[in-house]
Homo-oligomer: A and B are copies of this chain.
């Protein structure tokens, strides 16, 4: 009597198929303005069917954003070298963020858009930020920095996470949105990031 299980599996597969198609669609020519009808055509499903798997368009984009968070988290985990000091890891994480921005512009866009979204766990009912996993990593880095003495410890860790993350998003936002603008002012993207880190790394050093 594995029918229930098989059905569940099929349901999940279809959901994944839709999500994959949505990824291709929304990262394509029309961007996020691509329509649900487009998605129905691409998936070769009726429009109504889509709504059996996702309550609305937003939730699809949100699911994709969640996927983006996962990708980013994986990269951070893979690249961060525990042998390095906290402050070095902060610097490295910046490189990873920028690399992610260049490498996965679509997911970056989603991340910037849904960064502040609160998601509620259906099981436990707990509320947390979509980007929580990334913030967790940042928090660990900061803790390490404080304990190894490479990071000032006169600001609460979680506050510092929020500050650094907000600043960074501001920078990434400028990079992703202003691509065409920056060169009007003869400013190099690369230098913005470098400059940002030159400022905050010094600002984060112990007194």
- Please report A residues at the B interface, Cβ cutoff 8 Å: 116, 118, 127-129, 154-156, 158-160, 162-163, 165-171, 173-174, 177-178, 180-182, 184-187, 191-192, 195-196, 198-205
Cβ–Cβ < 8 Å partners of A165 in chain B: 174
A187 and B158 within 8 A (CB): yes
A135 to chain B, nearest CB (A): 9
Kindly identify which residue among B156, B171, B199 contacts A200, using a CB–CB cutoff of 8 Å.
Answer: B199
Cβ–Cβ < 8 Å partners of A192 in chain B: 159, 162-163, 166
A127 and B200 within 8 A (CB): no
Cβ–Cβ < 8 Å partners of A169 in chain B: 170, 173-174
A33 to chain B, nearest CB (A): 14
A203 to chain B, nearest CB (A): 3
A177 and B116 within 8 A (CB): yes
Number of copies of this chain that the complex holds = 2
Kindly identify which residue among B162, B173, B186 contacts A166, using a CB–CB cutoff of 8 Å.
Answer: B173
A166 and B158 within 8 A (CB): no
For A177, give the chain B residue with the smallest CB separation: B116
Kindly identify which residue among B116, B167, B178 contacts A181, using a CB–CB cutoff of 8 Å.
Answer: B116
A117 to chain B, nearest CB (A): 9
A203 and B195 within 8 A (CB): no
Q: A155-B195, A200-B199, A203-B201 are contacts. A116–B162 as well, Cβ < 8 Å?
A: no
Cβ–Cβ < 8 Å partners of A163 in chain B: 171, 192, 195-196, 199
A105 to chain B, nearest CB (A): 16
Question: In the bound complex, what is the Cα–Cα distance between A174 and B168 (angstroms)?
Answer: 11
Question: In the bound complex, what is the Cα–Cα distance between A160 and B199 (angstroms)?
Answer: 9
